[in-house]
Amino acid sequence: MSQSTIEVAGGSLFPTYARYPLAIVKGEGSWLWDSEGNKYLDFMSGIAVTNLGHVPQRVKEALVAQLDQLWHISNLFQIPNQADAAKLITDNSCGDAVFFCNSGAEANEAAIKLARRYQQLVARNGRYEVISFTQSFHGRTLATLTATGQDKVKEGFLPLPEGFTHIALNDIELLKATITDKTAAVMLEMVQAEGGILLVDPTYIKQVAELCKSEGILLIIDEIQTGMGRTGKLFAYEHFGIEPDIFTLAKGLGSGFPVGAMVAKEALREGFTAGSHGSTFGGTPIATAAVKATIETIVEEKVVDHAAKQGEYLITQLREKLSGCSFVNEVRGLGLIIGIECKEPIASVIVEAQSEGLLVISAGPNVIRLLPNLLVSNEEIDQAVQILTKLLSNR
């Protein structure tokens, strides 16, 4: 593909993304190739999507087999793959009921709708308000961008839906003071990823879970970026000894096949009835074949343990190699979601890393975000750390 083809393609598209002038055309494991044949070590995984690396064999075989059988059937029929995929999720989590959709925003939209409908029609307390947190990110639909605690995603989209409040994270007294008799749910990420790799405080989240329970408020955990083994547990809430009432999945759920899920506890099942929510494409035979193969691979091949081990190795290497680097403030993370917070904007570091053959992304202006796939090797980690050390030490 020539440079001009890329520009022509851009010409017919909305300018919703600030795209790099690279067309990635092939991937395998931790590696990507562009249209000019250049090779890159992928430490962003399509933003925590290709958690099993590019074109993972077992998921590919499941998709190819399903492509020969059946692509689409309405949710008015039984869909065996969907039931199996849901069982794999509930067998491996605190959840009991799954709704499949096609993206993270849709999963969070479903979570907000379920929370409201449960409070209004099952608990019958008229509660509708959702408390979420500054620096959070929950998606781009009108309700989920309203839940998002960053002004930049809201510009120009007024009026926003009612019933959303934002407060600072990790301040339990502030949360207590914000709760009213209209509070239906508290919604948060265990690691605010888009917000800058900001970790929830372990004591705080335990207090939040207890407070929610005692007040009849639903705890919604957005696991869209942190789920599917990313943090060294299958779901990030497991680190903290708590159980959400609802959690949401998308990014890594189908290893790159677009699919999302909203998962809830048994008590919430009756919050939705036939016709109260739905999606034409939610949980198609193909999408849920990808989910099944992804979870089977993660569980049977002990991918979560490997992610925990490699996360420890990566963060230790980074802290050691960058310890004398005056441009770096802090390296922090959980498992294989790691941020290098710098003293100044890092947009140019990302472009320089690309020319060195390493793909990384930002999380806010000053944080370099590392999201390698969960099967990444020590050698690949060493290579990435070497490139980053070289670039950051020169500043």
Ligand X SMILES: *Cc1c(COP(=O)(O)O)cnc(C)c1O
Residues interacting with ligand X, by CB under 6 A?
103-105, 108, 137-139, 189, 193-194, 222, 224-225, 250-251
44/105 with CB nearer ligand X? 105
Supply the minimum distance, in Å, between the C-beta of residue 286 and ligand X. 17
Look at residues 149, 144, 148 and name the one whose alpha carbon lies nearest to residue 134.
Answer: 149
CA gap 308, 190 in Å, rounded: 16
Supply the minimum distance, in Å, between the C-beta of residue 284 and ligand X. 16
CA gap 31, 379 in Å, rounded: 13
193/359 with CB nearer ligand X? 193
On whether the CB atoms of residues 83 and 97 are closer than 8 A, the answer is no
Which residues, 6 or more positions from 79, have their beta carbon under 8 angstroms from its beta carbon? Answer: 73, 283, 284, 285, 288
For 84, other C-beta atoms within 10 Å of its C-beta total 16
218/249 with CB nearer ligand X? 249
253/315 with CB nearer ligand X? 253
Which residues, 6 or more positions from 206, have their beta carbon under 8 angstroms from its beta carbon? Answer: 240, 241, 242
Instruction: Find the residue with minimal CB distance to ligand X.
Output: 104
Virtual CA dihedral for 82, 88, 92, 94, nearest 10 degrees?
Answer: 30
Supply the minimum distance, in Å, between the C-beta of residue 137 and ligand X. 5
Supply the minimum distance, in Å, between the C-beta of residue 191 and ligand X. 9
219/328 with CB nearer ligand X? 219
122/167 with CB nearer ligand X? 167
Look at residues 364, 393, 368, 351 and name the one whose alpha carbon lies nearest to residue 314.
Answer: 368
Supply the minimum distance, in Å, between the C-beta of residue 250 and ligand X. 5
Strand partners, 277: none
Supply the minimum distance, in Å, between the C-beta of residue 394 and ligand X. 31
Supply the minimum distance, in Å, between the C-beta of residue 89 and ligand X. 17
Q: What are phi and psi of 254, to 5 degrees?
A: -115, 15
127/138 with CB nearer ligand X? 138
On whether the CB atoms of residues 294 and 52 are closer than 8 A, the answer is yes
